[in-house]
Structures are given as C-alpha cells and as structure tokens.
Chain A
Amino acid sequence: MRKVLMDKDDIKRTLQRMATEIIERNKSVENLIMIGIIRRGDILAKRIAKIIEELTLFHPPTGSLDISLYRDDIGIKKVIEVRKSEIKEDITEKIIVLVDDVIQSGRTVRAAIDAIMDYGRPKAIQLAVLVDRGHRELPIQPDFVGKRIPTSKDEKIIVLLEEIDGKEMVGIE
C-alpha cells in the first residue's frame, strides 16, 4: 500500500520555506554553494538554488556529489554504482549547503562530509533534507528539514521528482 504524503504543490512550498530558512541563517548568500547528493539530492539542490535566486537575485553555484566511493558498506552492499561528481568551484572558505532527499541512518551524510573535505576546506557545512524519517545511527542532524515523517524501519519512503521520475511526490509504503 502506497500513501502519498506530499504532492507536487507540497514539495514546492516546502522547498520555498527551506530556501527562506537558508537565506535567514546565512546573511551573505554570496558565500553559499549548494551541493546535492546524487541522484535526487542534486536535483533538489538546483531547485533550492533557483528559489534563492528569485528571492535574493543571487544564484548560488551548485554541484553534485557521488558518495559511493566513501560508503562504509563497500563489500557488504552488493550493487554500488559510481557516478561522476561535479564540483567546479573552489569550496575553500565557502558555506556548503549539502542537500539530500531523505535522511535516515546519517551514513550517507557522513560519507558526503568526508568527500567534500577532499575538495578543500569549507568555512562550514550545513545540511538540508526534504524528508527526515528518523532511525539515526550516527550523531548527525539536519539544519533544514522539509518534513519530519516518523516511520517504522520496514516502511519505505519514496521520493519521486519530475526530472528523473517523470512525476512528483513523497510517499510511504
């Protein structure tokens, strides 16, 4: 059974609110770089960057990050696909907003932080997620949360985005 928790408008409104919070928290948006975790995080990062531009007239640079080579379950998980990261800007002394669709254990974010440090030394890294479903296994908390969805471990959160899935929703099954 699949239940829709957020539709297209909900997602749009949520990203708008998250963008506003990011602007409020970081007075100088000129110092921001939005980096999304491949694959759905980098789509969300681009969308949030666009909203920030509409609100401030400054478009923060965006990047995409593949974390597969930093995973802690290499050799345990059977299928690991390596995709190409793309971070063109020098991240030194910048404020990185790391974006992902769902946070659960926090292990992906741990890997992403390690990966970002290999590009340089940012001033700070902040974390924005569309959905926080709980069940953390590491001491990592997001700075900006779209929606908190309490789940049991056997439930599955599904995030579909127009750019790669052809439709738009957050659901649970």
Chain B
Amino acid sequence: MLKRKDLISTKDLTREEAELILETTFGMKEILQREVKKVPSLKGKTVATLFFEPSTRTRTSFELAAKRLSADVVSFTAQASSMTKGETVRDTVKNIEAMIVDAFVIRHRSEGIPNFIAGITDASVINAGDGKHEHPTQALLDTFTILERKKKLEGLNIAIVGDITHSRVARSHMFLLPKLGANLIFVGPKTMIPKDIEKVEPRIKVAGRIEEVIEDLDVIIFLRIQLERIESPLISSLKEYHNHFGLNLTKLKRAKKDIIIMHPGPVNWGVELAPEIMNLENNVILEQVTNGVAVRMAILFLLLSSR
C-alpha cells in the first residue's frame, strides 16, 4: 500500500513507492488482456476527473482505469461547467466533494493547483498535469514501458529531447528516472534546458544534438513541441527544429538495434519524428497508451484501497 493520500509529484515519491507502483502495474496490465477486463477492487468508490485544461486522452485513460477497477466515475471539464461562470477552484472542489467522492484527478494550466486542492479535501488527489510543474503518471507509465521492454532500469541511458524547461513530463522524469538508477540525458537547444542542471543531479547530462549521444542510448523520449511557441524567439522554424532535434532513419542508423522510441503524444509527424519512424519495431508509442491505463489502475488502487 502507498502510505500517502495524494500523488502530486514524482519528486516526493520514494524509490520504494515508485517500485511498488511499477510492480503493481504488471498485475493490472494482465487484467487488460482478459475476456472480462474488470475487477471488483474499487467497487463503491467514486473518482472525479476535474480537467480545467482540455486533454481527452489523459482523461479517458484515467476514466477507463477507474472503471476497470469498478469505481464510479464523474467527469468535469472547464468548458462544460460552472467553472466558466467564474466559480473558484475551491468552490468547484468543495461542491464535488460534497457529493461524496474518494479521489480527484486534476489537470490545470497553473502550477500548484493539485497541491492546493490536496490541502482542502480529504479525498485523494492525483495530479494529471499542472502547468510546467509535473505530470507524474506520464513519467510512471513511460518508466513502466521501459521496464517492460528492457527488463531493468538500472544503468540504462535514456535521452529526453525537446523543450525540457517548459515540459512537466521532463520534470517528472528528472525526479523519477535517476532515483531508479537510470542515466538521463537532456537534448535540446540551450535556451530550452534548465541552466546547470547537470550540477544538481550527477545522473543527468546535457547534449546539444541527438547525434552526440545516439550511439549510447537505450531509450529516446521525444517531447511534443508546442506549436504555439513556434515563431517565438525559442524556435525559428519547424523544418529547422526537425533537422536539429527530430529523429529520422539516417540518425537512427547509428543507434543500438533495440533502442526504443517514445513520445507522450500526440506526435507532430515530420517535426519530432519523421513519418518513416511510425512503422518501426522500435516505436512503442501505442504501448505507452495501453500502459497508461494499467499504471493509472495501479495508482488508483494503491491510493484508494487503504482508505
């Protein structure tokens, strides 16, 4: 059992807690392959998803995870509720809590909102992404996908490519993967990598180009480029970004044969990844999606089963 009420960040997750979540996920994934893909473990519990920022994919994944465990699910999205009528976050949460729910799954554009909500409710709170802060379940599902493919994490060389500074996924990885014994390499333009990061955590290194490190990599994770940032001073053009920080077959030729290629989705094909990457064995992007449900089942079960 996790002896905690909430999952807000990977930063405050111990190695033992992370390993328990990953271990439990193997059991949950097996359920998804059965004829009846549902177990009665959370019968009678209620999970509320509260998405102040739209994300159909993550919300669906959480909802399915809760349903596979027999919990009831209610969904609130910013567009469809009184949040657009100027209701405060606190009022929204308190009102839903008054309907008796056991867990909130929160997505918000501002950093710290899930943590704030955790402080004002007795229900469990799971952070489904808050601004540039963290996205712990994405990091955990990525880590599970790596563990399932590579059978270990210790000593693996894992690169994350893209806008590291503004990515909550990269941030959650930064706290999680080194804790589990993996080496992390941030690849991107200098303007998009936190300054002096390698001095903070000895397992983190920095590279300016994929070509500098590709031969040593076991895993390469691409971050989605936020198209609204294009033509900002950070990126000059999509074509240039693809040439420098995208992956194509030519760059991949120098990589290990069994390197796995990951992306939290949705992919901008032709920007982060060349379209010819789509059909490669090395591409595990859809496995990540499946594993997302299994990891979220593990987290919901571990948080709610002891309450």
**A115 vs B39: C-alpha distance when bound (angstroms):** 8
Q: Is there a chain A Cβ closer than 8 Å to B56's Cβ?
A: no
Q: Is there a chain B Cβ closer than 8 Å to A84's Cβ?
A: yes
**A75 vs B305: C-alpha distance when bound (angstroms):** 5
Given contacts A66-B27, A82-B301, A114-B40, contact A75 B34 (CB under 8 A): no
Determine the chain A residues whose CB is within 8 A of the CB of B307 once the complex forms: 75
The reply to whether B39 and A69 form a contact with Cβ atoms under 8 Å apart is yes
The reply to whether B31 and A69 form a contact with Cβ atoms under 8 Å apart is yes
- Minimum distance in angstroms from B299 CB to a CB of chain A: 12
Q: Is there a chain B Cβ closer than 8 Å to A53's Cβ?
A: no
- Minimum distance in angstroms from B307 CB to a CB of chain A: 7
Q: Mark B142-177, 1 if CB is under 8 A from A, else 0.
A: 000000000000000000000000000000000000
- Minimum distance in angstroms from A63 CB to a CB of chain B: 11
Q: Is there a chain A Cβ closer than 8 Å to B306's Cβ?
A: yes
Q: Considering the complex, give the chain A residue whose CB is closest to the CB of B307.
A: A75
Of B38, B40, B306, which contacts A75 at CB under 8 A?
B306
Q: Considering the complex, give the chain A residue whose CB is closest to the CB of B39.
A: A69
- SS of B interface (majority): loop
Q: Tell me the residues in window 35-56 of chain B with beta carbons closer than 8 Å to chain A beta carbons.
A: 35-36, 38-42
Q: Is there a chain B Cβ closer than 8 Å to A150's Cβ?
A: no
Determine the chain B residues whose CB is within 8 A of the CB of A71 once the complex forms: 41
Q: Is there a chain B Cβ closer than 8 Å to A118's Cβ?
A: yes
Q: Is there a chain A Cβ closer than 8 Å to B241's Cβ?
A: no
Q: How many residue-residue contacts, CB under 8 A, span A and B?
A: 52
The reply to whether A82 and B24 form a contact with Cβ atoms under 8 Å apart is yes
The reply to whether A70 and B298 form a contact with Cβ atoms under 8 Å apart is no
Q: Tell me the residues in window 3-26 of chain B with beta carbons closer than 8 Å to chain A beta carbons.
A: 23-24, 26
The reply to whether B306 and A118 form a contact with Cβ atoms under 8 Å apart is no
Q: Is there a chain B Cβ closer than 8 Å to A85's Cβ?
A: yes
The reply to whether A80 and B40 form a contact with Cβ atoms under 8 Å apart is no
The reply to whether A86 and B41 form a contact with Cβ atoms under 8 Å apart is no
The reply to whether B27 and A80 form a contact with Cβ atoms under 8 Å apart is no
The reply to whether A86 and B30 form a contact with Cβ atoms under 8 Å apart is yes
- Minimum distance in angstroms from B85 CB to a CB of chain A: 37
Q: Is there a chain A Cβ closer than 8 Å to B247's Cβ?
A: no
Determine the chain B residues whose CB is within 8 A of the CB of A80 once the complex forms: 1, 305
**A105 vs B306: C-alpha distance when bound (angstroms):** 22
- Minimum distance in angstroms from B256 CB to a CB of chain A: 28
**A68 vs B302: C-alpha distance when bound (angstroms):** 12
**A69 vs B25: C-alpha distance when bound (angstroms):** 12
**A80 vs B39: C-alpha distance when bound (angstroms):** 15
Q: Is there a chain A Cβ closer than 8 Å to B123's Cβ?
A: no
The reply to whether A120 and B35 form a contact with Cβ atoms under 8 Å apart is yes
**A87 vs B98: C-alpha distance when bound (angstroms):** 42
What 5 A-B pairs come out closest when comparing CB atoms? A118-B36, A82-B27, A69-B39, A69-B41, A84-B26
Sample of 8 more A-B contacts, CB < 8 Å, known A74-B41, A75-B307, A118-B39: A69-B31, A69-B301, A70-B39, A78-B1, A115-B39, A118-B36, A118-B38, A120-B35
